[in-house]
Copies of this chain bind each other. A is one copy, B any other.
Amino acid sequence: MDIASAAPELDALAVVVLNAAQTEDVLFGNEGLVSRLVPGAVVLMCVTVAPDYARSAAERCASRGVHLLDAPISGGSLKAANGKLSIMASGTPEAFRKARPALDAMAETVFELGDSAGTGSAMKAVNQMLAGTHIAAMAEAITFAMTQGIDPASFMKVIPHCAGTSWMLENRAPHIVSGDYTAHSAVDIWPKDLGIVLDAARASKFAAPITAAALQQFLAASGMGLGREDDAAVAKVYARNAGLKLPGTDTQS
């Protein structure tokens, strides 16, 4: 039985797709599921989207009697498989109540961020702003270190124990040390997610120069053809510009 046929029997539907365009198609397109759900069902929208989009989706669901929980997730594929996600959730008390069994199954941590859609997506945007910036800053620092005679392995022995560390540094810098760019999270995530951040910032007349600089580096990585590689490959932009040879790469890229 396909999901469209099953929809009338669902109490809760979790949407985990790549972006707002896919979400729009799944929920409100020609074969959209919202029109097939029964009134009182809840949609858990687990996608990283703009806060304005989350509000719009919630309004359109409500007009059909369907609840929407704005519930972007964090944690990656391994945590998803193990029900250990973090979820940044906002929505009406009724949306939370209906979504609770699904939340309990999926998440280790649910941050309850208020009674209207949009705040969950806003918090996710804030997190992505920092996460993306920290990956690019790590890449900038590990390659700068090379210009100063410090190889990536030596960087990795020291910096994670010092005030300059970040969650992303500890998670991604090992990929550079080992020269393994198998994508756990791809470069092309960041033009999308930092784009969401900077669109929202621009709409609020908020100047975000550091995030903007980080985005440029991911765009350059994508332009180099690295969009499907692990996002630590943003270091290759710096290496190419500075004529450095990263571990495990054949050339000065």
User: In the complex, what residue of chain B is closest to A244 when comparing beta carbons?
Assistant: B206
Copies in the complex: 2
A157 vs B157: C-alpha distance in the bound complex, in angstroms?
30
Instruction: Report if A13 contacts B (CB, 8 A).
Output: no
A23-36 contact mask (Cβ, 8 Å, vs B): 1 or 0: 00000000000000
Contact of A154 among B113, B143, B201, B209 (CB under 8 A): B113
Contact of A122 among B86, B118, B145, B166 (CB under 8 A): B145
Instruction: Report if A94 contacts B (CB, 8 A).
Output: no
A157-191 contact mask (Cβ, 8 Å, vs B): 1 or 0: 11101111111110100000000000000000000
A130 near B171 with CB under 8 A, answer: no
Residues of chain B with a CB closer than 8 A to A222's CB: none
Of the listed stretches A2-10, A56-64, A134-142, chain B binds A134-142
What are 7 residue pairs bridging A and B, where the CB atoms are less than 8 Å apart in the complex?
A: A118-B149, A129-B144, A130-B141, A134-B164, A144-B211, A147-B200, A164-B168
User: Which are the 5 A-B pairs with shortest beta-carbon distances?
Assistant: A130-B164, A166-B166, A122-B148, A147-B204, A127-B164
